[in-house]
């Protein structure tokens, strides 16, 4: 038999799950325990004390047949038979067959046969026979045991025999039905996760701090409204109105707390700053709540399972009540039994008594009462389940009380679980709602961020860039620390991967700030901050993935000089860029667009009157529409890189003020159009590197003002004499081609200062090369040169000489005559440097304070 503790364990749930047990579930659990006790008590009583006592019904016909003709003989025979079974058997026979007044110590022969004369004193038997008044049945003990067992199974109703077991089975079914949603795998994991998160949210110090700040700020508002108060307690407030924008500001709406004016004043203790551990735990909770909501809100399995198990319990109650009520009257103390064993007993009918009948009837009535109460609670549960939409949960009340107006409403299983928690304690939902609020999360991030990034820590991260400007680079933070705006001497501020960046009015303290980088950082600015940036900012970098990341205020910076846009701006989304707003950038000089354009946006012409440099870096997308370039009359520098151009665009020839043209990394094969550059009188620098150019046309001589020509990384095999007719040429770069010879006409370039021919097939250096006495940079590496002429010493201004990767076996000693050349500017193998005379090496190893340019 089961013990009460063993069966009750079926009703056990984790203590933390109790917050999901409303009062009716708890009440039904207690009722189930009482029903278990009833079942176990009835079962124990039945196993230990349940029995039926039967006596034969003595009819006249049966009695006459049962009397023997010679009573003394018959009695004697009976006595002999029973005596042969021993004294103990005789005693039991008397106790079952004689009248109740016969004492159990009297032998059967004395009680049933008056003719029997024992050898011992007959005084006591005479007394017993005198007292006995029962009727003789002539049945022995075994026959009584047999008929009792027969009648127990035949005469008693089945419900009287199996009532405890039925109660036990029904109760176990009800218990399993009540707690099945805690055990079912697909719901158990969600419930366990929910309870775990809910407990952490309830105990989190951030919850207490957020709600306390709400109470403090609410009390502060009431304090200001109360007049005539002589003394008021001091309250804590973390809100600040410093630099807040006006109501009409289009830049940013300052999100803060809204507080009810009807609340009474509540005095709370001052709130301390969260330590780092508590802050990290709170941030982790926000992330867990966000993921749990996304996981649970798309399903209503928990709700359906709870409704299903409630319906099952209701039908179970109706079923139990219907069939149990019919058996109440069948339980009685007396029963008539007709076992049909006359051939064994000699009697056809017996009258039996059931000693547990009264107790079972009382227990059954108690059980029915418990079931009725249980059933009415099930009906109430169903009423509650369908009275309101439990798959929707509104934080309306929580929003009013906590003043976190952005707490969203939830649905499906998430909503149902919160409804269940409200039946336990509504404070749980209120505290849980804090972690659904973005305002609360942003406030936590702000507090944690300012606590971690102090002024001293930020000062350590300030460095000087290549332009010798003080620069601060902040990467992947939750926001912009307030202490940043105390670095008043900062020149460059870089914000990268900071999705919640906000620029407050305090930025107006940074009077030296002129350059701002926003890398995947859609920063919001307050009105005062925008006014400062509009007047002081000179250079802005915006790197984005989607055009929506470009802040709208960028197009209103009227004093901006340089704008760099780096991101996806394909032709289908050109209108989304908002370039039509560029007309407000009235002082813009440099526009740099690194994207995947197929055409130049026509709205760029809005800045054409004052734009001096336009850079378009494509990602390999072919730029096909260039007509807008014709309107860029004042552009002095134009870069069209990686645009898959096959020829030089004709629109370029209309740019009369063009001074530098860079067509790097395209697919240009021929440059026959170069003759049209003669109309560009100011063109001094032409960069056609990293293309597929095979030859240089002789018409290049018409570009007489050219000072720099870059043709590296092409497919040139020779240098035409026309190149050397460009008398103003100062820099010539033909590296990484297939040129086998340097023409002797190179001596005509008397103004040549930088000559690069690295990575070709040159094997001999003409002596005319060293007549270019103004050479400062000479790159001859990775060729097939076998010797360096001694005339290299004539290059007195040479500061950089590259010879590495050739077939040299020695270096000329005349290198010592190159007064500005030092070992740092001599790129050569170590063993070749060792071939120089000692005095030459000493000269090359000398330090010099004379500045020199190292070329490109």
pLDDT tens for 611-654 read 999 999 998 888 887 888 888 888 999 999 999 999 999 889 98
- Distance CA(379)–CA(384), nearest Å, equals 9
**pLDDT at residue 573, as a whole number:** 47
Other residues' Cβ atoms within 10 Å of the Cβ of residue 642: 20
> What percent of the chain is modeled with pLDDT above 90?
36
pLDDT at 663 over 70: yes
Tell me the backbone φ, ψ of residue 540, rounded to 5 degrees. -135, 130
Question: Among candidates 694, 697, 689, which has minimal Cα distance to 725?
Answer: 697
Segment 687-700 shows an average pLDDT of 93
The confidence score (pLDDT) of residue 254 equals 39
Q: Which pair of structure tokens corresponds to residue 356?
A: 């547990």
732 confidence band (pLDDT: 50, 70, 90): very high
Tens digit of each residue's pLDDT (9 = 90 or more) over 567-599: 887 745 444 454 556 778 888 999 999 988 888
Identify the pLDDT of residue 807. Answer: 92
Convert 803-815 to b/e letters by CB count within 10 Å (16 or more is b): bbbbebeebbebb
As a whole number of angstroms, the distance between CA 140 and CA 93 comes to 5
Residue 762: both structure tokens together: 């040159």
Which stretch of 50-54, 644-648, 826-830 has the lowest confidence by average pLDDT? 50-54
Residue-level pLDDT at 785: 94
The pLDDT of residue 581 is: 65
Q: Global pTM?
A: 0.63
Lowest mean pLDDT among 42-46, 73-77, 339-343, 433-437: 73-77
Determine the pLDDT at residue 245: 39
Alpha carbons 560 and 541: distance in angstroms, whole number: 11
Residue 540's contacts (CB-CB under 8 Å, 6 or more residues apart) are: 515, 516, 517, 518, 554, 557, 560, 562, 563, 564
Q: What is the pLDDT of residue 755?
A: 97
* Average pLDDT, integer, range 17-29: 86
pLDDT (mean) for 703-717 = 94
Cβ distance 497 to 521 under 8 Å?
A: yes
pLDDT at 723 exceeding the cut of 80: yes
- Burial environment of residue 838 by CB neighbours within 10 A (0 to 12, 13 to 18, 19 or more): exposed
Residue whose C-alpha is closest to residue 285's, from 189, 407, 194, 399: 194
Q: Lowest mean pLDDT of 80-89, 120-129, 519-528, 658-667, name the range.
A: 80-89
Residues constituting the chain: 856
**String of b and e for 746-780 (b: at least 16 CB within 10 Å)?**
bbbbeebbbbbbbbbebeebbeebbbbeebbbbbb
Kindly provide the residue ranges of all beta strands, DSSP E only, lying in 478-566, ordered along the sequence. Answer: 492-496, 502-503, 515-519, 524-525, 539-543, 562-566
Mean pLDDT, range 407-431, rounded to an integer: 87
**Which whole number is the average pLDDT over 302-331?**
87
Residue 376 pLDDT: 93
Does residue 532 register a pLDDT over 60? yes
Q: What angle (nearest 5°) sits at the alpha carbon of residue 101, between those of residues 96 and 102?
A: 60
Mean pLDDT, rounded, for 719-729: 93
What average pLDDT does the segment 385-397 reach? 87
pLDDT averaged over the chain?
79
Under the banding of pLDDT at 50, 70 and 90, the label for residue 555 is confident
How far is the C-alpha of 845 from the C-alpha of 634, rounded, in Å? 48
Distance CA 56, CA 143 (A): 11
More confident residue, 430 or 459: 459
């Amino acid at each position: 038999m089961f013990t009460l503790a063993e069966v009750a364990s079926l009703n056990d749930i984790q203590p933390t799950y109790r917050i999901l047990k409303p009062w009716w579930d708890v009440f039904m659990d207690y009722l189930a325990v009482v029903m278990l006790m009833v079942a176990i008590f009835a079962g124990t009583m039945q196993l230990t004390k349940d029995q039926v006592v039967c006596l034969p019904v003595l009819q006249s016909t049966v009695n006459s047949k049962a009397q023997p003709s010679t009573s003394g003989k018959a009695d004697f025979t009976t006595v002999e038979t029973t005596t042969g079974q021993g004294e103990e058997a005789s005693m039991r026979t008397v106790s079952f067959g004689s009248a109740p007044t016969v004492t159990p110590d009297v032998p059967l022969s004395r009680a049933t046969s008056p003719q029997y004369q024992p050898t011992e004193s007959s005084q006591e038997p005479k007394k017993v026979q005198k007292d006995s008044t029962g009727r003789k049945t002539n049945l022995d003990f075994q026959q009584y045991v047999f008929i009792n067992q027969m009648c127990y199974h035949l005469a008693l109703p089945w419900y009287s025999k199996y009532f405890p077991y039925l109660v036990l089975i029904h109760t176990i079914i009800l218990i399993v039905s009540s707690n099945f949603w805690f055990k079912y795998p697909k719901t158990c994991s969600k419930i366990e996760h929910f309870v775990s998160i809910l407990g952490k949210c309830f105990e989190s110090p951030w919850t207490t701090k957020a709600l306390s700040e709400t109470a403090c700020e609410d009390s502060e508002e009431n304090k200001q409204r109360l007049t005539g108060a002589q003394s008021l307690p001091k309250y804590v407030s973390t809100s600040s109105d410093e630099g807040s924008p006006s109501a009409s500001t289009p830049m940013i709406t300052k999100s803060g707390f809204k507080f009810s004016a009807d609340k009474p004043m509540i005095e709370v203790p001052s709130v301390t700053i969260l330590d780092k551990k508590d802050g990290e735990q709170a941030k982790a909770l926000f992330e867990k709540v966000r993921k749990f909501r996304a996981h649970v809100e798309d399903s209503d399995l928990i709700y359906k399972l709870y409704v299903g198990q409630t319906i099952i319990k209701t039908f179970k109650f109706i079923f139990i009540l219907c069939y149990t009520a019919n058996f109440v009257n069948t339980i009685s103390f007396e029963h008539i039994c007709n076992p049909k064993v006359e051939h064994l007993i000699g009697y056809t009918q017996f009258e039996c008594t059931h000693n547990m009948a009264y107790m079972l009837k009382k227990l059954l009535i108690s059980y029915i009462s418990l079931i009725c109460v249980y059933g009415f609670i099930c009906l109430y549960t169903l009423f509650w389940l369908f009275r309101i939409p439990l798959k929707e949960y509104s934080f309306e009340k929580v929003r009013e009380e906590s003043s976190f107006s952005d707490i969203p409403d939830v649905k499906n299983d998430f909503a149902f679980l919160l409804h269940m928690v409200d039946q336990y304690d509504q404070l749980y939902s209120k505290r849980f709602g804090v972690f659904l609020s973005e305002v609360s999360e942003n406030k936590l991030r702000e507090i944690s961020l300012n606590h971690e990034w102090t002024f001293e820590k930020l000062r350590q991260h300030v460095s000087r860039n290549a332009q010798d400007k003080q620069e601060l680079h902040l990467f992947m933070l939750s926001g912009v620390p307030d202490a940043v705006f105390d670095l008043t001497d900062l020149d460059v501020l870089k914000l990268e991967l900071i999705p919640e960046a906000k620029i407050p009015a305090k930025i107006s303290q940074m009077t030296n700030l002129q350059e701002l980088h926003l890398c995947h950082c859609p920063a919001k600015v307050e009105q005062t901050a925008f006014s400062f940036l509009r007047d002081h900012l000179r250079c802005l970098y915006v790197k984005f993935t989607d055009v929506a990341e470009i802040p709208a205020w960028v197009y209103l910076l009227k004093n901006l000089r340089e704008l760099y846009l780096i991101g996806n701006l394909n032709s289908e989304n050109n209108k989304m860029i908002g370039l039509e707003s560029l007309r407000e950038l009235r002082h813009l000089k440099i526009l740099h667009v690194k994207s995947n354009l197929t055409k130049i946006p026509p709205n760029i012409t809005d800045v054409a009157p004052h734009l001096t440099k336009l850079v378009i870096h494509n990602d390999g997308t072919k730029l096909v529409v260039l007509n807008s370039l014709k309107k860029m009359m004042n552009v002095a520098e134009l870069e069209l890189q990686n645009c898959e151009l096959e020829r030089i665009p004709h629109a370029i020839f209309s740019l009369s003020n063009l001074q530098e043209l860079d067509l790097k990394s395209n697919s240009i094969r021929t440059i026959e159009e170069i003759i049209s550059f003669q109309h560009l009188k100011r063109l001094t620098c032409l960069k056609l590197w990293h293309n597929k150019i095979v030859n240089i046309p002789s018409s290049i001589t018409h570009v007489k003002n050219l000072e720099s020509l870059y043709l590296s990384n092409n497919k040139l095999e020779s240098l035409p004499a026309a190149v050397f007719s460009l008398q103003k040429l100062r820099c010539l770069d033909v590296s990484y081609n297939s040129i086998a010879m340097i023409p002797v006409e190179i001596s005509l370039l008397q103004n040549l200062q930088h000559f690069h021919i690295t990575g070709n097939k040159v094997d001999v250096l003409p002596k005319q090369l060293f007549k270019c006495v103004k050479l400062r940079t000479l790159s001859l590496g990775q060729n097939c040169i076998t010797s360096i002429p001694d005339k290299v010493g004539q290059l007195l201004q040479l500061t950089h000489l590259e010879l590495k990767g050739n077939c040299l076996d020695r270096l000329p000693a005349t290198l010592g005559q190159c007064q500005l050349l030092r070992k740092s500017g001599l790129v050569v193998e170590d063993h070749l440097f060792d071939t120089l005379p000692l005095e030459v090496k000493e000269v090359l190893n000398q330090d010099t304070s004379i500045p020199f340019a190292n070329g490109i």
